[in-house]
Structure 1
């Protein structure tokens, strides 16, 4: 048994559900601006200016409407004509009818064949990887813009006016070309070749001007046939060959050309191309002034903070040596006191030892012996006589007493017997 899906939103009113379908279709790219081929039936232009018809083939059909003024209708279109339409799917909520809102319609023998060629070109470019290649960024401030567009056209006048308003005096080179007709492709390709040459530094030096660093190619709006030159392969290849960024600005926002797909930037209109590529000088100068003021403020703040840090460091360095010196001085004084104590101790011990030696020397001095009643005998030449063997009878010698000296002579020698 098949399990039923759970209903989570509850019952919806019919009008609410149809409106939800309408919103879903409107946000689904697959159902918007599709190229559809089929046969016209029930072709009914109304006095209101709207045209209703059915687009069909052997496998299906859809109701379609062309609102008044939405697009040009080729006079050859009638019941049974095979056409290609560019249309979006919509729902008429009141009746619940699905219908195509047609933006373009052309007989197959004209636009249909051209659209087929366009699709084939896009397919080749996609296979070659050209649609996915990295795009070049626009210069922040272009120095030399080359504009390829119709000479004397309203699109050119709009671009010139916007450039003068946004950046007066910005260097530009206008290359006027035919933008529609049999010679348009040839002239556009030749103009883009010239922009490549003008982008070469050596050529720019010879001309005394900066190299072209941005190319804008485009025109104002028109019918699909009028814009078709920008779907042609030679023009597309010339855009791809540019060494500098290319802005494609063809027609209106609803027009999508192959040149738009390969350009570095697609602008919705020629005026939009200028708005996206040329900054407003006054705003940029104001931004730079603001930046300069912020930089100046930041610099002053940096120097102020640095001065505060230096003042603090200076104070710390000024106090730090004194603190170090005082600490070392206290340590030196402690060492000095300790050294004094040690020295005094050594001196005291040596004084005591010297006093003892002095007393000992004093006690054994010959003078002290004489003071005890002894006498010292010496020969006439001062030699101390220590035994009788140093004397001879009749020899003169000196006797030294504590209070003087007497001369004597040996009259008799008696040797002590053991």
Structure 2
């Protein structure tokens, strides 16, 4: 049967998809959508894919790479924003999306909420802790300034430093507003810290990060995490001078000192040279005056002390008299000592005559000869005793005596072997008798003899004995063990069937249950 022809136009998939695309773009054109940022994806291509959502719907969005690099506010999940762009479709996946050309926060409240959340996060990491703060140098030789080189801020700083205390100032030019300002400021702080001391470019002793006042959006670059972390990690003391006195950013919390204005930062960084010179002059005058008073006082004390001291001849009179007395007694003492030593020497000379020495030498020689004779005799006696002992031992170690000991050992081993054989035979006989008794006991207690008398054991599918007829269900598989083998059976009636009468022969039909007393045997 042929189909009825139709006049409905046919379209290809591409025609339908691109037709819908043109319709949506023509209908909506350029729109502004307010919503909360959901999922955010940043692939390697540089584009940003995100979701705009409210409590009832989700709208997919895409920010092309060229637009993403110019955004004032980088998209973050949970931020409420107003997106401007056009609605279009993506035919490759049959979905519609919004191509975003501009992205701005939905009021200052959203930025402040995001700022508070970021502040809590960084504070929890300890980046704002007071113990991390460094002390500013009292008189730096080189100051590094991270700011815009064309604004009024750098001119105010240089003018104030020149008025107060002219010194070497290095400027790291950065953008202080826009999407790249945060990264440039962070690179400036890290760049100054990377300079080596004593290099071609002097390393600053103090850093100033400065910018004029503005709205929260204008100052947002100084709230970026990369700027805060660079300020907290700076090894060079850092002064934050961003905005006016009422403005505040996260870099103010991470910096070592916050200045109310850029000009105030210059005043904090260096003292007034004229005041320093006046202070040095004042302290120099005070030092000279103090030295004069000190020397005058010490001179007066020295004169008073010298007036109280006795004359030098009076101080030496008593020691001189004592010396003269000791000198007079020294001559007499030397004469007496010499006579005493001469008498002692004469006594010793009489005792040390050649005859006496000869006698002592002869006596010592005789004592030595006697000791040598005694030692020789003692050695001879000891050698004779050892030889006698060794001879007695050698007499006991003859071959005949060893043979006799060997025969005695063999006889003893033979006797022990015979005793072992007798004991083993007796033990085997005893254990065999005990095993025979246990076998008889096992045979008398085994159910195999009961099966031989005409009984049977009924087992279920698990191989367990069935002890009650009520435990057998209709259709259950059974195994009936007899004396000469096992028969498989199936129960044909339920457990309420009557038990066979006494004396009846058990039929081979497996549906009959066993007698109640048969289960009692097992």
What's the TM-score once normalised by structure 1's chain length? 0.49
Which one has a larger percent strand, Structure 1 or Structure 2?
Answer: 1
Which one has a larger percent helix, Structure 1 or Structure 2?
Answer: 2
